[in-house]
Amino acid sequence: MPGWAAASASKLDFEKREVIQLDNHIVSPSDKKSNYSIIGEGSSAGGVYAKVKVVGDSTFNNDLYCDQFKCTGTSVIYGSLESNDINITGTLTLTERVIGPEDESGSGVSGLHAKAEKMKVVGEFHLPGDCQAENIKLNGRFTVGGMLTAEQMTLKIMGPSEAMEIGGSIISVKSGRGKLLDGWFASNASNPSILKVSLIEGDDIELENTVAEVVRGDKIKIGPGCRIGTVEYRSSLQIHSQSEVLVQRNRSVD
């Protein structure tokens, strides 16, 4: 089983989850969850909510669990985020609070994670650990320190982006467009709209402006602006004349 599929198989079922443990407090679905809103600038200790809405600048100081997370503005979460529906117009950053130099291990991938059924980002998304969803749509830029996995993934890149690994069934990476973001992400030679990743693995893969060590899948289309070390395919492979692939391997005969 591919790595991305194994991660997807272990995903949380938000509707059927029996308990959540948050700072030694057990929360069950029978507990009544309230909505939480921040308008302007504000902060929260994190916790379990029904709907969380941010319009402005927000800080959450612990893990956040909710049915819906919607942010128009900027949100910083010192912990993980799990939600059925994550919708960002602006910037979402998940990070660990560093107390002192002794807390900076500098090794491995962070245990912080984002999990969702649906995730839509117009702007920026930054996370030192893994991000997992059924459906991801992004128009902007992102950094994921671990694995980025989804059954269906549409990434429209505007600005430098990176992940350690990307996995899914249907993966599309293209150059982003949109008047809302044109001024925000001014692409130039020092700030290219390029996705950098070690491994991309899926079934149906289409790439543009991507630098990857390995791309592995069934049907693969390498569009313009790509530099790929090794492509492993089964059914079909297309390579644009403005892209470079060092090694091609047809796995259909294995």
Smallest CA-to-CA distance from 117 within 132, 98, 137, 130 is with: 132
Residue 20 has pLDDT above 60, yes or no: no
Helix ranges (DSSP H) in the chain: 3-9, 179-182
Q: Token digits for 42?
A: 């504000």
DSSP state of 226: -
pLDDT tens digits for range 179-213: 545 555 555 555 689 999 999 999 999 999 999 99
pTM attached to this predicted model: 0.83
Q: Token digits for 48?
A: 């379990």
Is the distance from CB of 201 to CB of 217 less than 8 angstroms?
yes
| CA distances, 138 to each of 36, 86, 158 (Å) | 25, 11, 10
pLDDT tens digits for range 68-83: 999 999 999 999 999 9
